[in-house]
Amino acid sequence: MNKAELIEALSAHFGGNKAEAGRMLNIVVETIIHETARHGKVGITGFGVFEKVHREERVVRNPRTGERKKADETYVVRFRPGSDMKAYVAGERELPSAPVARDVRATRKNGSRRRDAKAANKG
């Protein structure tokens, strides 16, 4: 699944609005990137942990030419899957049914269905 396909899947939770689903996905991804770079760790219970890890200076080898050269020290991101994700991927737990999309915009707090009524009148 690529980003466009993920947005398509998420859009069902936003009443079919791909633009809103894309904005929400971008907000989540940007927040994870920012917080991992700034604070070094973002954990999402059941999903996993993104960590900023220090990689020491080392010698690397080009597999094509065999040439050895020095790689500077740097920081890299490491992802460790959570226990729920591990269990689902390994088949130790049965995947839950796909989340049912619901149109949260259709019903307002006071119970009115004004958007649905407007959409029905347009057709």
Q: Tens-of-pLDDT digits for all 123 residues of the chain?
A: 999 999 999 999 999 999 999 999 999 999 999 999 999 999 999 999 999 999 999 999 999 999 999 999 999 999 999 999 999 999 999 988 876 655 444 444 444 444 555 555 555
- Whole-structure pTM value: 0.69
Structural domains of the chain, ranges and CATH numbers in brackets: 1-39 (no CATH), 41-93 (4.10.520.10)
Rounded to whole angstroms, how far apart are CA atoms 109 and 101? 18
Sorted by sequence, the CB contacts under 8 Å of residue 20 that are 6+ apart come out as 11, 14
Task: Please write the tens of the pLDDT for every residue from 89-121.
Answer: 999 999 888 766 554 444 444 444 445 555 555
